[in-house]
């Protein structure tokens, strides 16, 4: 059934540097919007689990006695001014010269660093004592949040840069900061805003690569982009973004758009744009989303007249794409010729900070909450990712806006990050199984489109990327995909973090990536031999895709076809739905 949704109206230097783009979170991270109240409701560690882990950490007599003595000795040296402990030069919280030149502030910083280091050692001892790594990650998550919150730089008197700003502005910065804090306490869940969303409008500032919606159903819109070269490759490319978050992080602005770049390389690009579900779509799961991928491939094939297509799945979109590829492979269907993966985890057995959220009790709570509500919102889902990086994603903004009195920044990727979508309860439950039970890699543990998932069935050539400093989907976990699928695979390692690895256009002289030959079973052995290149993974990915995209043909003069006519210009309606239309 085809639906025609209504489109709602569209809204239109500090003492602490802004976090780098790679510190933003990923699409399947949902959003880094502040959490709503109630830790269990938003996916934060449950109070019971937190208390159990902390009690286990702090009731080990040997480590506690040792750290108490050590901290006391360091405290005496700090008071005497003879201790050489200091914050890391990379810790921008303590960049102001007062932290090294003023005796009081220097001792305050040293005391904070000493206490935080003692807590880190206690966690290390807890792990050395045989604790499960997931318990360790949960304790580390909680203590990281607490120590970040306790930093003296989060208070006016404890932040010399904020005090200087107050003096220089005759108190105006304090008044502006109070206004910002009051607004956020009332309207933003009690945490500082990360971005001024009114500075950008989707379709006018963001997501503006020319194209048109050529298919719409209850689950997806398919966007075909206008060629920018006189000749194009015959085989189309279908991009599968994650089902939570808007697709336009792949089409931010001219010069920062993967779509624009792919079109400029002569690829015929089609984009899946997921609908923003409500509780009416609570039963949508991997069946509906995998079918959306298959449908998008069929639309691209029909419009271009190609027998098959290539695909690119990003983050959780890569997981959905995998279930569709599995279904096609099981049925001997070769309509997908080759597939790319970007920062996608299929195997969750490797250690990662996300393990803090993989305890059975927390997963059960998350299931119950989403089942009760019908959806989990990006705000709820994103809270845990926010608290994984509290210095960058919470207290950085608290300092700049509440203490310095600055306005929220106008930054495109943050505007996208705050523009989240819902996840249906059924799909959320299945993602929890993939996360908590590692269901994708266990043959037959999942059935999608009536087909048991066996990753080894997938034999198409694959291009796999990971990001070196990615804390959401660690690169060596992404690398594992090359060993799980049966086809020939190419792996490219990007230098950056989760989001910056995706929004990573050529031209940045600091960008680099690593390549090597056929990936073997050991990711770190691959890394040791890999060759470093200046540039971005977009370039070798485009080369790889072009090689598998058939001959050049004249670019089409119009978009769509008689079977799939143009419905409206890109970026379409689903990407702008605030309150989704009912089917």
Active-site positions? 315
Assign 3-state DSSP to the chain and report helix, strand, coil percentages, each to 5: 45, 15, 40
CA distance 255 to 239: 19
Distance of CA 62 to the CA centre of its chain: 39
Give the C-alpha distances (Å, rounded to integers) separating 346 from 116, 232, 449, 537.
34, 32, 18, 20
How many CA atoms lie within 13 Å of 558's alpha carbon, on the beta-carbon side? 8
CA distance 270 to 568: 15
CA distance 49 to 57: 12
CA distance 32 to 471: 14
How many CA atoms lie within 13 Å of 32's alpha carbon, on the beta-carbon side? 28
285: tokens are 């799961």
Closest CA to 329 of 206, 200, 187, 459: 459
Cβ proximity of 454 and 444 under 8 Å: yes
Give the C-alpha distances (Å, rounded to integers) separating 357 from 346, 406, 435.
17, 34, 9
384: tokens are 């845990």
DSSP string, 53-114: HHHHHHT-HHHHHHHHHHHHHHHHHHHHT-------TT-GGG-STHHHHSHHHHHHHHHHHH
| Interhelix angle 47-58/103-128, nearest 10 degrees | 90
User: 3-state secondary structure string, 370-429?
Assistant: HHHHCEECHHHHHHHHHHHCHHHHHHHHHHHHHHCCCCCCCCHHHHHHCCCCCEEHHHHH
Strand positions, DSSP E, 135-240: 211-216, 220-225, 231-233, 237-240
Q: Label residue 398 left, alpha or beta by phi (over 0 means left) and psi (-120 to 50 means alpha).
A: alpha
Strand positions, DSSP E, 416-525: 423-424, 447-448, 451-452, 462-467, 489-494, 512-515
Cβ proximity of 440 and 434 under 8 Å: yes
DSSP H/E element including 569: strand 568-569
CA distance 193 to 197: 10
445: tokens are 């543990």
Closest CA to 205 of 415, 356, 517: 415
CA distance 185 to 170: 25
Give the ranges where 197-254 is alpha helix by DSSP (H): none
The dihedral formed by the CA atoms of 462, 318, 473 and 373, expressed in degrees to the nearest 10 = -170
């Amino acid at each position: 059934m085809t639906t025609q949704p209504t489109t709602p109206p569209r809204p239109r230097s500090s003492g602490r540097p802004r976090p780098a783009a790679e510190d933003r979170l990923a699409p399947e991270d949902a959003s880094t919007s502040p959490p709503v109240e109630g830790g269990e409701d938003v996916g934060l560690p449950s109070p019971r689990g937190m208390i159990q882990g902390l009690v286990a950490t702090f009731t080990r007599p040997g480590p506690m006695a040792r750290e108490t003595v050590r901290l006391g000795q360091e405290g005496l040296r700090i008071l005497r001014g003879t201790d050489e402990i200091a914050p890391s030069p990379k810790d921008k919280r303590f960049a102001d010269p007062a932290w090294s030149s003023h005796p009081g502030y220097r001792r305050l910083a040293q005391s904070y660093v000493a206490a935080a280091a003692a807590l880190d050692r206690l966690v290390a001892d807890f792990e050395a004592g045989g604790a499960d790594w997931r318990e360790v990650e949960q304790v580390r998550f909680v203590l990281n949040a607490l120590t970040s919150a306790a930093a003296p730089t989060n208070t006016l008197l404890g932040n010399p840069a904020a005090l200087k700003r107050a003096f220089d502005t005759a108190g105006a910065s304090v008044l502006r900061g109070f206004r910002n804090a009051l607004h956020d306490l009332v309207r933003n869940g009690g945490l500082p805003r990360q971005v001024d969303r009114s500075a950008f409008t989707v379709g006018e500032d963001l997501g503006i690569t020319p194209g048109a919606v050529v298919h719409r159903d209850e689950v997806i819109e398919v966007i075909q982009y206008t060629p920018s070269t006189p000749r194009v490759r015959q085989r189309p490319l279908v991009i599968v973004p994650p089902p939570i978050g808007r697709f336009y992080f792949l089409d931010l602005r001219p010069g920062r758009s993967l779509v624009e770049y792919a079109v400029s390389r002569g690829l015929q690009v089609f984009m899946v744009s997921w609908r923003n579900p409500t509780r009416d779509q609570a039963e949508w799961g991997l069946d509906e989303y995998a079918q959306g991928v298959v449908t998008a491939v069929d639309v691209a094939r029909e419009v271009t007249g190609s027998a098959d297509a290539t695909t690119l799945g990003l983050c959780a979109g890569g997981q959905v794409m995998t279930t569709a590829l599995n279904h096609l492979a099981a049925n001997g269907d070769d309509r997908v010729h080759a597939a790319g993966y970007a920062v996608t985890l299929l195997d969750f057995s490797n250690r990662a900070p996300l393990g803090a959220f993989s305890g059975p009790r927390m997963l059960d709570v998350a299931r119950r909450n989403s089942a009760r509500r019908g959806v989990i919102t990006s705000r709820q889902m994103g809270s845990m990712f926010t608290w994984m990086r509290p210095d960058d994603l919470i207290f950085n903004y608290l300092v700049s806006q509440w203490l310095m009195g600055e306005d929220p920044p106008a930054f495109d990727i943050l505007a996208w990050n705050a523009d989240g979508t819902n996840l249906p309860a059924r799909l959320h439950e299945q993602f929890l199984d993939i996360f908590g039970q590692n269901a994708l890699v266990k043959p037959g543990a999942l059935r999608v489109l009536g087909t048991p998932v066996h990753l080894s069935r997938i034999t198409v050539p694959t291009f796999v990327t990971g990001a070196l400093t990615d804390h959401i989907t660690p690169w060596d976990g992404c690398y594992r995909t090359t060993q799980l699928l049966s086809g020939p695979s190419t792996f490219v390692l990007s230098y950056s973090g989760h989001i910056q690895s995706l929004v990573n256009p050529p031209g940045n002289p600091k960008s680099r990536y690593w390549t090597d030959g056929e990936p073997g079973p050991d990711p770190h052995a691959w890394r040791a031999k890999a060759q470093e290149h200046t540039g971005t993974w977009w370039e070798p990915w485009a080369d790889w895709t072009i090689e598998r995209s058939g001959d050049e043909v004249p670019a089409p003069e119009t978009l769509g076809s008689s079977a799939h006519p143009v419905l409206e210009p890109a970026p379409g309606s689903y990407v702008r739905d605030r309150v989704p239309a009912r089917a």
